[in-house]
Amino acid sequence: MNKKTIRDIDVKGKTVLVRVDFNVPRDKATGEITNDNRIVQALPTIKYLIEHEPKAIVLFSHLGKVKTEEDKAKNDLSCVAVRLQELLGKPVQFVNCTRGPELENAVKEANDAAVILVQNTRYEKGESKNDPELGAYWASLGDVFVEDAFGSVHRAHASTAGIPAHLPSAAGFLVEKEINYIGKAVSDPERPMVAILGGAKVSDKILVIENLLKIADKVIVGGGMYYTFAKALGYSIGNSLVEEDRVEVAKELIEKGGDKLILPVDSVINNAFAPEGDIKVCEGDIPDGYMGLDIGPKSVENIKKALEGAKTVIWNGPMGVFEMEPFAKGTISVCEALANLPDANTIIGGGDSAAAVMQLGYADKVSHISTGGGASLEYMEGKVLPGIAAIDDK
């Protein structure tokens, strides 16, 4: 990685602004945090900074989407301050605003590596537009900027790209780790390299599939998006999920992919989108009134075979509706196959596949689980990520 990291900068006595990703899932009824993984992932960077005696550490994060006053109330970051304080074992001062005297005074008066969490950056309309005035204002609060929100680096926002336009900047440990894992897998993989792509929509992953067909030795497709490919191959797909406007693109990908592209050969189907009904395995055409909800046992065996001897595996997107037990077998089988690959670099690309790996108990059996679904996908497309581009080069 040719970007500066926090090891390359002197923070002693300085006010360090840190973009973290505290966009944590919460219970809709109570607002309580249901998974604190993103807070935990930020701790190494925050603790390192504390040890190196800055004046203050000012944390910026978004939480949810903020379009209305109701959204503001729902996506208040104060719950994160409470959990972060528990995890750090050190007071965290929550500033319930995004600009003005209260924030400025809190930063000015802070000392001895005080930790300050600023209210949700998306309370500011200019955040997602990368408003230059907002980026400059936030930058004026500190001396140096650390980018540690991998889940947000694919967005050119004021807090990710605007602040570092005005300050010396470096990557935190989480961003460094993500670049090292995903960057190496895409630009210099140990071979054989296999990519597994699932999830619902072809449109989300067209560019990823195209790029990975150039890089990987094999590209495996599963999940709901397979049925657009099945239609492109001339199969009847019943009521299965399909993107009609992507069928021609799927045909092109099949032609480009040749033997490299591995598609399912059977499906677990049902006559309802539910965990009960007339559930059965089907090869070829899916009857009217039925929909494919998981890959079938023959497809699972094909995936296991394709993974034999793999040294690098990137997986993004589940193989079926894993939240429903009858349609979780494909996803569980991929988890098991990755967990049992000897000496392989296994990378889970965030989003639903990360949720599946954690929910199914395989988190400690893979090399790396990305904290950024969208960012890791765009990285795999070969795109330049604005938040990483903004970090100072070594």
Active site residue 191: no
361 is an annotated ligand-binding site residue: no
**According to the annotation, is 122 in a ligand binding site?**
yes
The answer to whether 65 is annotated as binding is: yes
Instruction: Count CB-CB contacts under 10 A for residue 244.
Output: 8
DSSP 3-state of 86 = helix
Closest CA to 300 of 329, 272, 258: 329
Which of the following is catalytic: 47, 374, 382, 383? Answer: 374
The helix or strand, by DSSP H or E, that contains position 346, with its residue range, turns out to be strand 345-348
Residues sharing a CB contact under 8 Å with residue 270, sequence separation 6 or more, in sequence order: 277, 278, 279, 280, 290, 291, 293, 326, 327
322 annotated as a binding-site residue: no
155 known ligand binder: yes
145 known member of a binding site: no
Catalytic residue among 4, 38, 218, 231: 38
**64 annotated as ligand-binding:** yes
344 class by beta-carbon count within 10 Å (0-12 exposed, 13-18 middle, 19+ buried): buried
How many other C-beta atoms can be found within 10 angstroms of the C-beta atom of residue 2?
Answer: 7
DSSP state of 8: G
Please say if 383 is a catalytic residue: no
Instruction: Give the separation between CA 89 and CA 75, rounded to whole angstroms.
Output: 24
Q: Is 180 annotated as a binding residue?
A: no
Catalytic residue, chosen from 172, 199, 330, 351, is 351
The answer to whether residue 201 is catalytic is yes
Q: Tell me: is residue 63 an annotated ligand-binding position.
A: yes
3-class SS at 219? strand
DSSP per residue, 111-174: -SSEEEEES-GGGSTTTTTT-HHHHHHHHTT-SEEEE--GGGTTS--IIIIIGGGTS-EEE-HH
Instruction: Kindly name the residue from 74, 83, 201, 251 that is annotated as catalytic.
Output: 201
Q: Is 38 a catalytic residue?
A: yes
The answer to the question of whether 296 is labelled as a binding residue is: no
Inter-CA distances, 325 with 82, 177, 277, Å: 35, 33, 13
Task: Count how many Cα atoms sit within 13 Å of the Cα of residue 347 in the half-sphere of its side chain.
Answer: 29
**Phi then psi dihedrals of residue 197, to 5 deg:** -125, 125
Pick out the residues of the known binding site for substrate: 21-23, 38, 62-65, 122, 155
Pick out the residues of the known binding site for ATP: 205, 292, 323, 350-353
Pick out the residues of the known binding site: 21-23, 38, 62-65, 122, 155, 205, 292, 323, 350-353
Pick out the residues of the known binding site for (2R)-3-phosphoglycerate: 38, 122, 155
Active site residues: 38, 201, 351, 374
